[in-house]
């Protein structure tokens, strides 16, 4: 497994965002994770396209944008123009997922599909060969700082088996409640990328915490 870490800026200090962006730049983190919430698909509103654009100006690593919005296909080029390198759309919000993935690729980005904790991994059988990444939610999306759902380990194993069976190159990313209590076991189950927000930014030494999450 790759053992990559994508700090979620949802837990950063929005009154001093450039400081937290610099922490991620200086750390062993691989990507920035940006959570876009619309108050419709999920019961919370976070930030939108202008903030992605602002982060892009300072970020020295790729932007992994997690869209928790209805009709994500409407905003593909807008997020590309704002600086997204990888665009994650929810399976549950995408009735024409095959077309949406094609459009993300045509816009020049990597395409990720995200699944909520209740969505069966097996539903990805006919899309897994064309996506670059699957993001498994290990909490119900909408908020940072929630408790990790233990059943996620089993879902990561199921997805790793599906990826192997289909000879897919998709990476497995896990998001929600990730800490050093579960990181090693997640990599062992087959995860490549771990998203972590509050565990990193509420710690005394975020740079060190990011290093610990890569072990
Ligand atoms: O997508 C989401 C939440 O919906 C996440 O990316 C959170 O921002 C992760 O935060 P922590 O659970 O690590 O605090
Ligand atoms: Fe996220």
How many beta carbons lie within 10 A of that of residue 1, not counting itself? Answer: 15
- Rounded-to-integer distance, Cα 190 and Cα 158, Å: 9
Residue of 12, 65, 139, 194 to mutate, ligand 1, most atoms within 8 A of C-beta: 139
Contact between 73 and 41 under an 8 Å Cβ cutoff? The reply is no
Residue 108 is assigned to a ligand binding site: no
* Mean predicted confidence (pLDDT) in 47-73: 98
pLDDT reading at 185 higher than 90: yes
* Mean predicted confidence (pLDDT) in 119-124: 98
**pLDDT (0 to 100) of residue 2:** 84
* Mean predicted confidence (pLDDT) in 16-42: 98
What sign results for the dihedral spanned by CA atoms 57, 4, 89, 20? negative
**pLDDT (0 to 100) of residue 206:** 98
CA atoms within 13 A on the CB side of 112: 25
pLDDT reading at 1 higher than 80: no
| CATH superfamily of the domain spanning 4-213 | Aldolase class I (3.20.20.70)
Q: Which residues contact 92 (CB under 8 A, 6 or more apart)?
A: 41, 115, 116, 119
* Mean predicted confidence (pLDDT) in 25-45: 98
Is residue 175 annotated as part of the catalytic site, yes or no?
A: yes
pLDDT reading at 82 higher than 80: yes
Residue 197 is assigned to a ligand binding site: yes
Q: How far is the CA of 6 from the centre of ligand 1 (A)?
A: 11
DSSP H stretches of helix in 6-117: 17-26, 49-58, 76-82, 97-106
Which of 160, 145, 151, 146 is CA-nearest to residue 191? 160
- Rounded-to-integer distance, Cα 114 and Cα 133, Å: 9
**pLDDT (0 to 100) of residue 13:** 98
What percentage of residues in the chain have a pLDDT greater than 70? 100
- Would you tell me the crossing angle of helices 17-26 and 49-58 to the nearest 10 degrees? 50
Q: Give ion ligand 2 contacts, CB < 5 A.
A: 35, 66, 175
Does 2 or 111 have the greater pLDDT score?
A: 111
Contact between 59 and 23 under an 8 Å Cβ cutoff? The reply is no
Q: How far is the CA of 180 from the centre of ligand 2 (A)?
A: 18
pLDDT digits (tens, 9 = 90+) for 134-183: 999 999 999 999 999 999 999 999 999 999 999 999 999 999 999 999 99
- Cβ–ligand 1 distance for 5 under 6 Å, the answer no
Catalytic residue among 20, 30, 35, 192: 35
Residue of 47, 72, 176, 202 to mutate, ligand 1, most atoms within 8 A of C-beta: 176
């Amino acid at each position: 497994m790759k053992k990559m870490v994508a700090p979620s800026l949802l837990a950063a200090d929005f009154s001093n965002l450039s400081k937290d962006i610099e922490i991620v730049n200086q750390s062993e983190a691989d990507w920035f994770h940006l959570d876009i919430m619309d108050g419709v698909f999920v019961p919370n509103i976070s930030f939108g396209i202008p903030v992605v654009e602002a982060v892009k100006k300072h970020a020295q690593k790729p932007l992994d944008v997690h869209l928790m919005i209805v009709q994500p296909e409407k905003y593909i080029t807008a997020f590309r123009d704002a600086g997204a390198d990888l665009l994650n759309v929810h399976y549950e919000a995408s009735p024409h997922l095959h077309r949406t993935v094609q459009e993300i690729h045509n816009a020049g980005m990597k395409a990720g599909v995200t699944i909520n904790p209740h969505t069966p991994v097996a539903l990805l059988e006919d899309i897994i060969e064309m996506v670059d990444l699957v993001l498994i939610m290990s909490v119900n999306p909408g908020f940072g700082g929630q408790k990790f759902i233990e059943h996620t380990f089993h879902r990561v194993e199921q997805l790793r088996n599906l990826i192997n069976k289909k000879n897919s190159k998709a990476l497995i990313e896990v998001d929600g409640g990730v800490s050093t209590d579960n990181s090693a076991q997640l990599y062992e189950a087959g995860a490549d990328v771990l998203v972590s927000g509050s565990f990193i930014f509420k710690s005394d030494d975020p740079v060190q915490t990011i290093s610990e999450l890569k072990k």
